[in-house]
Structure 1
Amino acid sequence: MSELPDGWVQIALGEALQIQKGKKPIGLGPKGDDRLVPYINISAFETKLVKEYAPEQDVPHCEPSDTLLVWDGARAGLAGRGIGGFIGSTLARLTSDLADPSYIYYFVHSNYGYLNTHTKGVGIPHIDPIVLAEIAFPLPPSGEQTRIVAKLEELLSDLDAGVAELKAAQKKLVHYRQSLLKAAVEGVLTAEWRTQHIPTETGAQLLERILTERRVRWETKQLVKFKEQGKTPPKDWQKKYPEPMQPDTTDLPELPEGWVWASVDQVAEVFLGKMLDKTKHTSGEKLAYLRNVNVRWGSIEIDDVYEMFFNIDELERYGLIAGDVLVCEGGEPGRAAICRKEHERFKYQKALHRVRMFNLYEPELLVAFLEFVAQTGRLAKTFTGSTINHFTKESFVALCIPLPAMAEQRMIVEHIAAEIRNISDQESAIGLSLKQSTAQRQNILRAAFAGQLVPQDPNDESASALLESIRAERVEREKQPKIRKTKQQKEIAAMVSKLIHVLAEEGDWVSAQEAFRRCGVADGALTDQIEGLYAELRALDKAGRLAVEAVTDAQGRKLHDRLKLLPT
């Protein structure tokens, strides 16, 4: 750390902090007469929405002025503002008798990256308290802390407002892209174009041509097979032609004049890729292949590809040519992208469908339609699988797609491409601005903790004097005798011991509310009494003497807890 201004002092962060780890309270449930204290778990911390409450009891409590720190999990080290309530077990409360609460918050928050990458634990990462305690902490004079916090809140508030506007613009671009795709596949995008152009071939006529060429391709392949096998084509062999699946247009929207619905089976050839089996595929030519992770919406990423063996008779079957569309069978089913010339050197795995349309349907239009029906949820209705979704070949070839005339298809694709470029440019500009905002935030915080954000005041009491005073106070507190139990505390202890007898006498399940009532704790009871009883419950639970079970209604909503004393 660079040299600090006059009046500042550098100490270990551990000396400035008091850390209190959270603990899950008992009796959690919806807010009710006996559950009034918010429970701040990781979800409430992240969303600021409290869903669970607990009765008053002796567990760590947080105030809005405190700093909360994620102690356990993937986001360990993330700091946030406090929320009034009980602290969850994966969080910790940070307070300080040396520094302004907001100054502590901003400083710890600025160290998230360091804390998150210096955790301990093999499975679940945890904050390393030694790492936290040893962070160098710049302590300004008390008055300057106040000025720094005020300036930070002014600057960061403006920055946050700008970031919010950028993220709102991002959302608008997403919505615009959805509207663009909808207009494209429903014919709205080219509505005016159709009034000025009469195609020489309608969608219905194009479909007839596609089906004719489909049959010709099949017959040609069959004749090649007969020739390779040295056989004469048998009588009526053409009758074995597999007719394509007819489109089921039930509940589908009406298309513009000149368009028709067609099944994927009618307009395209669909093949799944090769199954990866390292035990069987050990010979042939080792070639790079594409997986569903390589296929993104509208693009194919080739920086992470694997290899496997392909036999010579599989090279064409699993080959790719420019214009083919690859569609994910699993992962994010339906996600699709077009193969370009540079992708022809790859093969493809079974998790992908290869769609070949023989220049009779624009591949960009198919990708746009798949993205549109994926966004609207229509595509998901065709998936199979209870836990993992799959877009099977049977489902895919049955999918209905809109078929305009070829000239209109090209016009749609041209419009989409121009608008997508515009969207991409705006997204890139917003992304750059967001990165700049992040860098600006870091620069502001760096200046704050280097003493460069606000001017120093020579009249401020120095940080060293503040530190000396606080250290002296701490020493004096340590000298204070331990507080003995008061009369009220003795009464609580007696009441607590009675709880064991109440549970033993019942010998079976009893509601917590009824057990407390028999112990003399009812409406209007002292908070210390309630906390004492809950402390006893935790002790019994830890000793294996207590069973606690939630009682729910028919909808599974928790009503209350019931208790039972277990034998020793």
Structure 2
Amino acid sequence: MTTRRGNRHWASVTFEIFFRNVTSSSRKLQSSQYSSLGKYPVIDQGEKEIGGYTNDETLVHPGPLPVVIFGDHTRCVKFASAPFVQGADGVKILAPARSLHARYAYWALKATELQNKGYARHYSLLRKLSFPLPPKPEQVRLVDAIESYLTRLDETVATLERVQRNLKRYRASVLKAAVEGRLVPTEAELARAEKRDYEPASELLKRILVERRRRWEEAELAKMKASGKTPKDDKWKAKYEEPAPPNTASLPKLPEGWCWASMNQLADIGTGATPNRSDKKYWIDGSVPWVTSAVVNAGLVTQPSAFVTQAALNETNLTLYPPGTLLVAMYGEGQTRGRCAELRISATTNQALAAITLHSTANLLRRWLLLFMQHNYLALRRTASGGVQPNLNLSIVRAIQVPLPPLCEQTRIADRAEQALSVASAADATTNGIQVRSNRLRQSVLKWAFEGKLVDQDPNDEPASVLLDRIRAERAAPQSNTSAKKPRRTSRNA
């Protein structure tokens, strides 16, 4: 037997030759009526193969099976070979020509590239397309090859997804061990073993608070000097508001040498604004970097979202934050809220970001705070308040309860954690790359299949032209409209 590849002996046929639309206008179930269990699966235009279940026999698709399901809005393509119920609006049920291999018709539609019109309808575009028609035996070989290749690709992707889930758990366990003092020996343990003293975190916190008050006093004196005032005594110092410490009554016990601190004790917490977009003097020819909450997803902020002018900085509630500032998204799309990133440039922010600015000794806490904020991400999100879209606010950020280790221990923890997390990130990048290549290979398999390059052709196969004549004869024969009427609902089958 001689073989050849290519589609020179194939035919090209219209949508109406390939499929017949047998969608019912009455036999369909609204999504609000889906059940989690039932005798019959409900197939709709969603991403899931099965949208839900029902026991209502009167809604079961009455026509011959198998059929192909097309999502008019979503462009999802599904295959149904067992009794099912049609989902609500947007579902098209397509019966392949009887002489076609039904799975071939499914894969041919699956491989079709339709223009994405968003949530608009796509069926009118589908009806204008042509489909390749190989001989029937070659359709069988193509389906076997496609499903063999894609099954192996699916197994690879499933393995990669398991690896990614394990990496996620590994990262979480590293961060949890870090903030609980289990990742490296504690400073107290080392000091005992080495018979030396060490500075506990409580002393570190005292130094930070002394520096915090001194900065406030220096700023107040500068304001008085600028206004031509000279203080006669120290009564003005009484205006200083000591940041509230955390309530430790319900907090877990920390390792020896650690202490609890509020974020407000460790840093200055501020935010920004969005200058009036209609005021051109705030935006045209701007040179001052300005960032929005979307930047936190990158981890490190090295590029601005936009630029504002010096007038915007002078006249609105903007503050220019220095490199090293930690940015926390107080609200944003998807998983953005609660994420923390380090600012690597001088920049202003919009009002959706809380800026955590560290000074003097507190500057040394930056790596530790970044690790803690990564671990605290989900807990912080749960503290959000509001209605449909809960948000964080500056009060919540200031009140974040931070476990504080001694300074030397922070450095050792950060070194070990960053090393472990970098290994996990490298593995994650590798799996993501393999997933991308797997998706491309999936598209290539379908492309080769319908270009006649995936399997050999057999010259002894019945020609596609003969198959096409048979399909046309079937189409010309009268069709019984099995889905036109909905069976009368009775108390028994209800």
Question: Under a length normalisation based on structure 1, what TM-score does the superposition of the two structures give?
Answer: 0.75
Matched with 1:369 is 372
Structure 1 counterpart of 2:180, from 168, 186, 193: 186
Structure 2 counterpart of 1:124, from 119, 123, 139: 119
Distance across 1 between alignment mates of 2:280 and 2:177: 46
Partners of 1:275 and 1:349 within 8 A in 2: yes
Matches within 5 A, 1:331-480: 331=332, 332-340=336-344, 343-344=345-346, 346-358=347-359, 359-360=361-362, 361-375=364-378, 378-477=379-478
**Distance change >3 Å, CA 94–CA 30, structure 1 → 2:** closer
Matched with 2:23 is 21
Matched with 2:142 is 148
**Distance change >3 Å, CA 145–CA 30, structure 1 → 2:** closer
Partners of 2:45 and 2:76 within 8 A in 1: no
Distance across 1 between alignment mates of 2:49 and 2:471: 36
Matched with 2:92 is 92
**Distance change >3 Å, CA 371–CA 53, structure 1 → 2:** farther
Distance across 1 between alignment mates of 2:179 and 2:24: 54
Question: 2:220 is aligned with what amino acid?
Answer: Q
Distance across 2 between alignment mates of 1:156 and 1:432: 18
Matched with 1:565 is none
| Higher alpha-carbon Rg | 1
Structure 2 counterpart of 1:138, from 132, 135, 139: 132
Matched with 1:544 is none
Distance across 2 between alignment mates of 1:274 and 1:199: 47
Give the SS at the match of 1:333: coil
Give the SS at the match of 1:201: coil
Displacement of 1:366 after TM fit? 1.7
Matched with 1:210 is 208
Displacement of 1:70 after TM fit? 0.9
Displacement of 1:207 after TM fit? 0.6
Partners of 1:292 and 1:328 within 8 A in 2: yes
Distance across 1 between alignment mates of 2:78 and 2:66: 10
Matched with 1:534 is none
Give the SS at the match of 1:334: coil
Displacement of 1:30 after TM fit? 6.3
The CA deviation string for residues 188-232 of structure 1, in whole angstroms up to 9 with x for no partner, is 112367633567321011011111111111111111111111112
Give the SS at the match of 1:429: helix
Give the SS at the match of 1:444: helix
Displacement of 1:414 after TM fit? 1.7
**Distance change >3 Å, CA 56–CA 221, structure 1 → 2:** same
Displacement of 1:477 after TM fit? 2.9
Distance across 2 between alignment mates of 1:179 and 1:388: 29
The CA deviation string for residues 305-343 of structure 1, in whole angstroms up to 9 with x for no partner, is 253564565799611212111111212332111111xx2
Displacement of 1:126 after TM fit? 0.7
**Distance change >3 Å, CA 180–CA 309, structure 1 → 2:** same
Displacement of 1:94 after TM fit? 2.1
Displacement of 1:49 after TM fit? 5.1
The CA deviation string for residues 252-280 of structure 1, in whole angstroms up to 9 with x for no partner, is 22211111000011111111113533467
Displacement of 1:363 after TM fit? 1.9
Partners of 1:281 and 1:309 within 8 A in 2: no
**Distance change >3 Å, CA 306–CA 94, structure 1 → 2:** farther
Question: 1:244 is aligned with what amino acid?
Answer: P
Question: 1:350 is aligned with what amino acid?
Answer: Q
Give the SS at the match of 2:120: coil
Displacement of 1:42 after TM fit? 3.6
Partners of 1:30 and 1:53 within 8 A in 2: no
Question: 2:120 is aligned with what amino acid?
Answer: P
Distance across 2 between alignment mates of 1:32 and 1:352: 41
Q: Alignment RMSD, CA only?
A: 3.3
Matched with 2:13 is 11
Matches within 5 A, 1:153-552: 153-191=147-185, 195-196=189-190, 200-235=198-233, 236-278=235-277, 282=281, 286=286, 287-296=288-297, 298-300=299-301, 302=303, 304-305=305-306, 307=308, 310=311, 313=314, 318-331=319-332, 332-340=336-344, 343-344=345-346, 346-358=347-359, 359-360=361-362, 361-375=364-378, 378-477=379-478, 521-523=490-492
Give the SS at the match of 2:254: coil
**Distance change >3 Å, CA 199–CA 462, structure 1 → 2:** farther
Displacement of 1:169 after TM fit? 0.9
Please tell me whether residue 54 in structure 1 is matched to residue 48 in structure 2.
Answer: no
- Unpaired segments ≥5 residues, structure 1: 484-488, 497-515, 525-529, 531-568
Distance across 2 between alignment mates of 1:99 and 1:194: 76
Matched with 1:500 is none
**Distance change >3 Å, CA 49–CA 132, structure 1 → 2:** closer
Partners of 1:328 and 1:334 within 8 A in 2: yes
Distance across 1 between alignment mates of 2:182 and 2:298: 23
Give the SS at the match of 2:402: strand
Give the SS at the match of 1:244: coil
Distance across 2 between alignment mates of 1:168 and 1:246: 42
Partners of 2:261 and 2:404 within 8 A in 1: yes
Question: 1:337 is aligned with what amino acid?
Answer: A
| More divergent stretch after superposition (213-222 vs 468-477) | 468-477
**Distance change >3 Å, CA 99–CA 164, structure 1 → 2:** same
The CA deviation string for residues 454-477 of structure 1, in whole angstroms up to 9 with x for no partner, is 222232211110111221233243
Distance across 1 between alignment mates of 2:36 and 2:108: 37
Displacement of 1:68 after TM fit? 1.3
Partners of 1:36 and 1:56 within 8 A in 2: no
**Distance change >3 Å, CA 38–CA 437, structure 1 → 2:** closer
- Unpaired segments ≥5 residues, structure 2: none
The CA deviation string for residues 106-158 of structure 1, in whole angstroms up to 9 with x for no partner, is 121112xx2142x4xxx8311142x3133331111111111111122111111
Partners of 1:294 and 1:305 within 8 A in 2: no
The CA deviation string for residues 359-390 of structure 1, in whole angstroms up to 9 with x for no partner, is 42422322222222223xx2234322122222
Partners of 1:260 and 1:402 within 8 A in 2: yes
Distance across 1 between alignment mates of 2:418 and 2:12: 57
Displacement of 1:246 after TM fit? 1.4
Question: 1:323 is aligned with what amino acid?
Answer: G
Question: 2:271 is aligned with what amino acid?
Answer: L
**Distance change >3 Å, CA 522–CA 205, structure 1 → 2:** closer
Give the SS at the match of 1:56: helix
Distance across 1 between alignment mates of 2:186 and 2:26: 63
**Distance change >3 Å, CA 62–CA 16, structure 1 → 2:** same
Give the SS at the match of 2:328: strand
Distance across 2 between alignment mates of 1:27 and 1:69: 16
Distance across 1 between alignment mates of 2:312 and 2:156: 57
Partners of 2:22 and 2:93 within 8 A in 1: yes
